[in-house]
Structure 1
Amino acid sequence: MTLPGLRVTETGTAGLVLTRDFAAPASLVFAALTRPELLRRWHGAHGWHLTACDVDLRPRGAWRFVSLGPGGAEMEMYGEFRDVEPPGRLVQTEIHRSWPEGAALVTTVLAETGGRTTMTVTAQYPSPEIRDQVVRTPMRRGAGEAYDRLASVLDQEKRDAHA
Protein backbone atom coordinates (compact mmCIF):
# COMPACT_ATOMS: atom_id res chain seq x y z
CA MET A 1 0.00 0.00 0.00
CA THR A 2 1.24 3.49 -0.83
CA LEU A 3 0.07 6.64 0.92
CA PRO A 4 1.33 10.12 0.07
CA GLY A 5 4.94 10.04 1.25
CA LEU A 6 4.71 6.60 2.88
CA ARG A 7 5.28 3.19 1.32
CA VAL A 8 4.10 0.11 3.24
CA THR A 9 4.99 -3.39 2.07
CA GLU A 10 4.11 -6.71 3.65
CA THR A 11 7.10 -9.07 3.75
CA GLY A 12 7.19 -12.78 4.46
CA THR A 13 4.45 -14.17 6.65
CA ALA A 14 4.81 -11.73 9.55
CA GLY A 15 6.69 -8.61 8.43
CA LEU A 16 6.05 -5.04 7.34
CA VAL A 17 8.39 -2.48 5.80
CA LEU A 18 7.55 1.24 5.99
CA THR A 19 9.61 3.69 3.94
CA ARG A 20 9.43 7.48 4.03
CA ASP A 21 11.72 10.26 2.81
CA PHE A 22 12.36 13.42 4.83
CA ALA A 23 13.95 16.72 3.83
CA ALA A 24 16.27 16.66 6.83
CA PRO A 25 19.64 15.22 7.81
CA ALA A 26 19.75 11.80 9.44
CA SER A 27 21.01 13.27 12.73
CA LEU A 28 17.85 15.37 13.06
CA VAL A 29 15.54 12.48 12.08
CA PHE A 30 17.29 10.23 14.61
CA ALA A 31 16.84 12.88 17.31
CA ALA A 32 13.13 13.17 16.49
CA LEU A 33 12.75 9.39 16.80
CA THR A 34 14.51 9.17 20.16
CA ARG A 35 14.18 12.41 22.14
CA PRO A 36 10.98 12.67 24.22
CA GLU A 37 10.64 16.44 23.74
CA LEU A 38 10.52 15.89 19.97
CA LEU A 39 8.52 12.64 20.06
CA ARG A 40 5.74 14.40 21.99
CA ARG A 41 5.36 16.86 19.10
CA TRP A 42 4.69 14.30 16.36
CA HIS A 43 4.12 10.73 17.54
CA GLY A 44 0.69 9.37 16.66
CA ALA A 45 -2.06 9.97 14.17
CA HIS A 46 -4.13 13.15 14.14
CA GLY A 47 -6.13 13.38 17.37
CA TRP A 48 -3.64 11.27 19.33
CA HIS A 49 -0.95 12.55 21.69
CA LEU A 50 1.60 10.99 24.00
CA THR A 51 0.71 11.14 27.68
CA ALA A 52 3.79 9.12 28.66
CA CYS A 53 7.06 9.04 26.76
CA ASP A 54 9.97 7.30 28.48
CA VAL A 55 13.18 6.63 26.54
CA ASP A 56 16.37 5.09 27.96
CA LEU A 57 18.38 5.27 24.75
CA ARG A 58 21.03 2.58 25.14
CA PRO A 59 21.27 -1.13 24.40
CA ARG A 60 18.97 -2.94 26.87
CA GLY A 61 17.40 0.41 27.76
CA ALA A 62 13.61 0.42 28.06
CA TRP A 63 11.12 2.64 26.26
CA ARG A 64 7.39 3.13 26.86
CA PHE A 65 4.76 5.27 25.14
CA VAL A 66 1.16 5.78 26.21
CA SER A 67 -1.07 7.65 23.77
CA LEU A 68 -4.50 9.15 24.31
CA GLY A 69 -6.82 9.46 21.33
CA PRO A 70 -10.35 10.35 20.31
CA GLY A 71 -13.08 9.44 22.76
CA GLY A 72 -10.53 8.69 25.48
CA ALA A 73 -9.04 5.72 23.61
CA GLU A 74 -5.68 4.72 25.06
CA MET A 75 -2.82 2.80 23.47
CA GLU A 76 0.29 1.60 25.30
CA MET A 77 3.41 0.20 23.70
CA TYR A 78 6.79 -0.54 25.14
CA GLY A 79 9.97 -2.46 24.55
CA GLU A 80 13.72 -2.53 24.82
CA PHE A 81 16.45 -1.09 22.64
CA ARG A 82 18.71 -3.77 21.22
CA ASP A 83 21.06 -1.63 19.15
CA VAL A 84 21.57 2.14 19.10
CA GLU A 85 23.85 3.55 16.38
CA PRO A 86 23.23 7.28 15.92
CA PRO A 87 22.41 8.64 13.45
CA GLY A 88 21.81 5.68 11.19
CA ARG A 89 20.33 2.66 12.95
CA LEU A 90 18.01 1.78 15.80
CA VAL A 91 16.84 -1.74 16.71
CA GLN A 92 14.19 -2.30 19.36
CA THR A 93 11.50 -4.66 20.49
CA GLU A 94 7.91 -3.43 20.47
CA ILE A 95 4.99 -4.81 22.45
CA HIS A 96 1.46 -3.46 22.40
CA ARG A 97 -0.62 -3.99 25.51
CA SER A 98 -3.43 -5.37 23.31
CA TRP A 99 -1.30 -8.11 21.72
CA PRO A 100 -1.95 -11.62 22.99
CA GLU A 101 1.70 -12.67 22.70
CA GLY A 102 5.29 -11.75 21.93
CA ALA A 103 7.22 -8.76 20.73
CA ALA A 104 7.92 -7.33 17.30
CA LEU A 105 11.51 -6.68 16.35
CA VAL A 106 11.72 -3.24 14.73
CA THR A 107 14.79 -2.06 12.83
CA THR A 108 14.97 1.56 11.69
CA VAL A 109 17.64 2.53 9.16
CA LEU A 110 18.27 6.15 8.19
CA ALA A 111 20.16 6.73 4.93
CA GLU A 112 21.13 10.34 4.19
CA THR A 113 21.95 11.69 0.75
CA GLY A 114 22.37 15.39 0.08
CA GLY A 115 20.67 16.49 3.29
CA ARG A 116 17.63 14.25 2.70
CA THR A 117 17.01 11.08 4.69
CA THR A 118 15.23 7.90 3.69
CA MET A 119 13.84 6.11 6.73
CA THR A 120 13.19 2.39 6.37
CA VAL A 121 11.39 0.71 9.26
CA THR A 122 11.28 -3.08 9.16
CA ALA A 123 8.96 -4.74 11.68
CA GLN A 124 9.01 -8.50 12.19
CA TYR A 125 5.95 -9.46 14.23
CA PRO A 126 5.80 -12.48 16.57
CA SER A 127 3.22 -14.22 14.37
CA PRO A 128 1.29 -13.77 11.13
CA GLU A 129 -1.83 -13.22 13.24
CA ILE A 130 -0.29 -10.23 15.05
CA ARG A 131 0.96 -8.74 11.77
CA ASP A 132 -2.50 -9.21 10.25
CA GLN A 133 -4.08 -7.61 13.34
CA VAL A 134 -1.78 -4.60 12.88
CA VAL A 135 -2.62 -4.40 9.17
CA ARG A 136 -6.39 -4.47 9.94
CA THR A 137 -6.11 -1.46 12.26
CA PRO A 138 -5.90 2.08 10.92
CA MET A 139 -2.11 1.72 11.36
CA ARG A 140 -1.34 2.57 7.74
CA ARG A 141 -3.30 5.81 7.81
CA GLY A 142 -2.07 6.58 11.33
CA ALA A 143 1.58 5.97 10.45
CA GLY A 144 1.21 8.20 7.40
CA GLU A 145 -0.31 10.97 9.52
CA ALA A 146 2.36 10.58 12.20
CA TYR A 147 5.15 10.76 9.62
CA ASP A 148 3.52 13.85 8.08
CA ARG A 149 3.60 15.39 11.57
CA LEU A 150 7.24 14.29 11.90
CA ALA A 151 8.07 16.02 8.58
CA SER A 152 6.53 19.25 9.95
CA VAL A 153 8.53 18.98 13.18
CA LEU A 154 11.72 18.42 11.19
CA ASP A 155 10.97 21.48 9.03
CA GLN A 156 10.35 23.60 12.13
CA GLU A 157 13.55 22.36 13.80
CA LYS A 158 15.55 23.26 10.67
CA ARG A 159 13.97 26.75 10.56
CA ASP A 160 14.70 27.28 14.27
CA ALA A 161 18.34 26.21 13.77
CA HIS A 162 18.77 28.83 11.04
CA ALA A 163 16.96 31.64 12.91
Structure 2
Amino acid sequence: MSTTKANRRHETQIVADPALPTILIIREFDAPPDRVFRAYTDPELVIQWLGPRRLTMRIDEYDTRSGGSYRYVHREDDGTEYGFRGVFHEVRLDERIVQTFAFDGFPDGVSLETTVFEDLGGRTRVTTTSLMDSVEARDSMIKSGMQRGVREGHERLDELLVAARAAAPTDVPREKASDHDKRNR
Protein backbone atom coordinates (compact mmCIF):
# COMPACT_ATOMS: atom_id res chain seq x y z
CA MET A 1 0.00 0.00 0.00
CA SER A 2 1.35 3.38 -0.92
CA THR A 3 2.02 6.00 1.72
CA THR A 4 -0.48 8.31 0.04
CA LYS A 5 -3.27 5.72 0.25
CA ALA A 6 -2.39 4.91 3.88
CA ASN A 7 -2.46 8.59 4.84
CA ARG A 8 -5.72 9.18 2.98
CA ARG A 9 -7.58 6.57 5.00
CA HIS A 10 -6.51 8.43 8.17
CA GLU A 11 -8.05 11.66 6.94
CA THR A 12 -11.46 12.50 8.29
CA GLN A 13 -13.89 12.99 5.43
CA ILE A 14 -16.76 15.38 6.15
CA VAL A 15 -19.44 15.59 3.47
CA ALA A 16 -22.49 17.87 3.42
CA ASP A 17 -24.77 17.30 0.42
CA PRO A 18 -26.13 20.75 -0.52
CA ALA A 19 -29.64 19.32 -1.02
CA LEU A 20 -29.90 17.27 2.19
CA PRO A 21 -29.86 18.27 5.89
CA THR A 22 -27.12 15.74 6.64
CA ILE A 23 -23.45 15.56 7.53
CA LEU A 24 -21.54 12.39 6.68
CA ILE A 25 -18.28 11.75 8.58
CA ILE A 26 -16.00 8.87 7.56
CA ARG A 27 -12.70 7.84 9.16
CA GLU A 28 -10.60 4.66 9.32
CA PHE A 29 -8.65 3.61 12.39
CA ASP A 30 -5.86 1.04 12.75
CA ALA A 31 -7.67 -0.92 15.45
CA PRO A 32 -10.39 -3.58 15.41
CA PRO A 33 -14.05 -2.60 15.90
CA ASP A 34 -14.20 -3.75 19.53
CA ARG A 35 -11.46 -1.30 20.55
CA VAL A 36 -12.84 1.60 18.54
CA PHE A 37 -16.38 0.93 19.80
CA ARG A 38 -15.10 0.89 23.39
CA ALA A 39 -13.39 4.26 22.82
CA TYR A 40 -16.79 5.63 21.74
CA THR A 41 -18.73 4.16 24.67
CA ASP A 42 -16.42 4.14 27.71
CA PRO A 43 -16.55 7.60 29.35
CA GLU A 44 -13.01 7.17 30.70
CA LEU A 45 -11.82 6.91 27.09
CA VAL A 46 -14.28 9.38 25.52
CA ILE A 47 -12.99 12.17 27.75
CA GLN A 48 -9.47 11.58 26.37
CA TRP A 49 -10.29 12.16 22.71
CA LEU A 50 -13.65 13.77 21.93
CA GLY A 51 -13.38 17.32 20.65
CA PRO A 52 -10.67 19.87 19.91
CA ARG A 53 -7.31 19.76 21.68
CA ARG A 54 -7.62 23.29 23.09
CA LEU A 55 -10.70 22.42 25.18
CA THR A 56 -10.95 20.44 28.39
CA MET A 57 -13.88 18.10 28.86
CA ARG A 58 -16.13 17.16 31.75
CA ILE A 59 -18.62 14.32 31.52
CA ASP A 60 -21.72 14.81 33.66
CA GLU A 61 -23.47 11.65 32.44
CA TYR A 62 -22.60 8.93 29.92
CA ASP A 63 -24.94 5.93 30.07
CA THR A 64 -24.27 4.02 26.84
CA ARG A 65 -27.21 1.65 26.96
CA SER A 66 -30.14 1.75 24.59
CA GLY A 67 -32.35 4.34 26.31
CA GLY A 68 -29.45 5.83 28.29
CA SER A 69 -28.49 9.47 28.09
CA TYR A 70 -25.37 11.60 28.08
CA ARG A 71 -24.23 15.12 28.82
CA TYR A 72 -20.74 16.53 28.57
CA VAL A 73 -19.19 19.99 28.61
CA HIS A 74 -16.19 21.35 26.71
CA ARG A 75 -14.44 24.28 28.40
CA GLU A 76 -12.19 27.02 27.04
CA ASP A 77 -9.22 28.35 29.05
CA ASP A 78 -11.21 31.55 29.70
CA GLY A 79 -14.00 29.53 31.37
CA THR A 80 -16.47 29.58 28.46
CA GLU A 81 -18.40 26.30 28.42
CA TYR A 82 -20.19 24.42 25.64
CA GLY A 83 -22.61 21.72 26.78
CA PHE A 84 -23.86 18.81 24.68
CA ARG A 85 -26.50 16.21 25.47
CA GLY A 86 -28.56 13.43 23.98
CA VAL A 87 -30.08 9.98 24.29
CA PHE A 88 -28.68 6.66 23.09
CA HIS A 89 -31.55 5.05 21.16
CA GLU A 90 -29.68 1.95 19.99
CA VAL A 91 -26.34 0.56 21.14
CA ARG A 92 -25.30 -2.60 19.30
CA LEU A 93 -21.95 -3.90 20.61
CA ASP A 94 -19.06 -3.27 18.20
CA GLU A 95 -21.50 -2.49 15.35
CA ARG A 96 -23.69 0.58 15.70
CA ILE A 97 -24.79 3.50 17.87
CA VAL A 98 -27.90 5.60 17.22
CA GLN A 99 -28.20 8.72 19.36
CA THR A 100 -29.60 12.21 19.45
CA PHE A 101 -27.21 15.15 19.74
CA ALA A 102 -28.01 18.66 20.94
CA PHE A 103 -25.88 21.69 21.78
CA ASP A 104 -27.10 23.51 24.90
CA GLY A 105 -26.77 26.82 23.04
CA PHE A 106 -29.38 25.67 20.49
CA PRO A 107 -31.79 23.47 22.49
CA ASP A 108 -34.31 23.24 19.63
CA GLY A 109 -31.68 21.99 17.18
CA VAL A 110 -31.54 18.25 17.79
CA SER A 111 -29.85 15.95 15.30
CA LEU A 112 -30.12 12.17 14.96
CA GLU A 113 -26.74 10.47 14.57
CA THR A 114 -26.08 6.93 13.40
CA THR A 115 -22.51 5.64 13.80
CA VAL A 116 -21.53 2.36 12.14
CA PHE A 117 -18.32 0.45 12.93
CA GLU A 118 -17.21 -1.56 9.87
CA ASP A 119 -14.67 -4.36 10.36
CA LEU A 120 -11.83 -4.09 7.83
CA GLY A 121 -9.79 -7.00 9.18
CA GLY A 122 -7.90 -5.48 12.12
CA ARG A 123 -8.92 -1.96 11.13
CA THR A 124 -12.24 -0.15 11.45
CA ARG A 125 -14.11 2.28 9.24
CA VAL A 126 -16.36 4.53 11.32
CA THR A 127 -19.18 6.22 9.42
CA THR A 128 -21.41 8.73 11.20
CA THR A 129 -24.47 10.17 9.53
CA SER A 130 -26.05 13.18 11.25
CA LEU A 131 -29.58 14.14 10.22
CA MET A 132 -30.44 17.75 11.10
CA ASP A 133 -33.78 19.59 11.19
CA SER A 134 -32.90 21.59 8.06
CA VAL A 135 -30.12 22.47 5.65
CA GLU A 136 -29.83 25.79 7.50
CA ALA A 137 -29.29 23.99 10.83
CA ARG A 138 -26.69 21.77 9.17
CA ASP A 139 -24.89 24.79 7.70
CA SER A 140 -24.95 26.51 11.09
CA MET A 141 -23.36 23.41 12.66
CA ILE A 142 -20.60 23.41 10.05
CA LYS A 143 -19.95 27.16 10.52
CA SER A 144 -19.61 26.60 14.28
CA GLY A 145 -16.21 24.99 13.78
CA MET A 146 -17.38 21.40 14.17
CA GLN A 147 -15.10 20.23 11.35
CA ARG A 148 -11.96 21.23 13.25
CA GLY A 149 -13.26 19.62 16.43
CA VAL A 150 -14.14 16.36 14.65
CA ARG A 151 -10.79 16.16 12.86
CA GLU A 152 -8.77 16.94 16.00
CA GLY A 153 -10.87 14.48 17.99
CA HIS A 154 -10.14 11.74 15.45
CA GLU A 155 -6.42 12.54 15.61
CA ARG A 156 -6.58 12.23 19.39
CA LEU A 157 -8.51 8.95 19.08
CA ASP A 158 -5.78 7.63 16.75
CA GLU A 159 -3.18 8.52 19.40
CA LEU A 160 -5.23 6.83 22.12
CA LEU A 161 -5.65 3.64 20.07
CA VAL A 162 -1.93 3.51 19.24
CA ALA A 163 -1.03 3.94 22.93
CA ALA A 164 -3.54 1.25 23.94
CA ARG A 165 -2.16 -1.15 21.32
CA ALA A 166 1.38 -0.60 22.60
CA ALA A 167 0.35 -1.13 26.22
CA ALA A 168 -2.01 -4.10 25.80
CA PRO A 169 -1.55 -7.64 24.51
CA THR A 170 -3.12 -8.36 21.13
CA ASP A 171 -5.32 -11.18 22.43
CA VAL A 172 -7.42 -9.22 24.91
CA PRO A 173 -10.62 -11.21 25.55
CA ARG A 174 -13.76 -9.62 24.16
CA GLU A 175 -16.56 -8.76 26.53
CA LYS A 176 -19.98 -10.21 25.89
CA ALA A 177 -22.92 -7.94 25.16
CA SER A 178 -24.30 -8.78 28.61
CA ASP A 179 -21.02 -7.67 30.22
CA HIS A 180 -21.19 -4.42 28.23
CA ASP A 181 -24.72 -3.79 29.51
CA LYS A 182 -23.70 -4.56 33.12
CA ARG A 183 -20.71 -2.20 32.89
CA ASN A 184 -22.93 0.58 31.60
CA ARG A 185 -25.74 0.36 34.17
Query: Same fold, TM exceeding 0.5?
Result: yes
SS of 1:60's equivalent?
A: coil
Structure 1: stretches of 5+ with no match in the other structure: none
24-33 vs 7-16, which deviates more?
A: 7-16
Q: Where does 1:60-75 land on structure 2 (aligned, <5 Å)?
A: 60-75=67-82
Q: Where does 1:8-157 land on structure 2 (aligned, <5 Å)?
A: 8-11=14-17, 12-99=19-106, 101-157=108-164
Distance apart, 1:147 and its partner CA: 0.4
Structure 2: stretches of 5+ with no match in the other structure: 1-7, 171-185
The answer as to 2:165 corresponding to 1:158 is: yes
Letter in 2 for 1:37: E
Distance apart, 1:70 and its partner CA: 3.8
Q: Is the contact made by 2:29 and 2:123 (CA closer than 8 Å) also made in structure 1? A: yes
Whole-Å separation in 2 of the counterparts to 1:65 and 1:6: 23
Q: Is the contact made by 1:63 and 1:80 (CA closer than 8 Å) also made in structure 2? A: yes
Q: Is the contact made by 1:43 and 1:49 (CA closer than 8 Å) also made in structure 2? A: no
Letter in 2 for 1:39: V
Q: Is the contact made by 2:67 and 2:87 (CA closer than 8 Å) also made in structure 1? A: yes
More strand by share: 1
Whole-Å separation in 1 of the counterparts to 2:15 and 2:24: 5
Q: How many residues align?
A: 162
- Give aligned-pair identity as a percent: 32
Distance apart, 1:158 and its partner CA: 1.1
Q: Is the contact made by 1:6 and 1:20 (CA closer than 8 Å) also made in structure 2? A: yes
Q: Is the contact made by 1:99 and 1:130 (CA closer than 8 Å) also made in structure 2? A: no
SS of 1:57's equivalent?
A: coil
- With normalisation by structure 2, the TM-score equals 0.82
Q: Over aligned residues, Cα RMSD in angstroms?
A: 1.9
Distance apart, 1:88 and its partner CA: 0.9
Whole-Å separation in 1 of the counterparts to 2:40 and 2:107: 26
Larger Rg over CA atoms = 2
1:1-38 C-alpha deviation (Å, 9 max, x unpaired): x9x61101013431000000100010000100110110
Whole-Å separation in 1 of the counterparts to 2:117 and 2:128: 9
Q: Is the contact made by 2:74 and 2:81 (CA closer than 8 Å) also made in structure 1? A: yes
- With normalisation by structure 1, the TM-score equals 0.92
Q: Is the contact made by 1:36 and 1:53 (CA closer than 8 Å) also made in structure 2? A: no
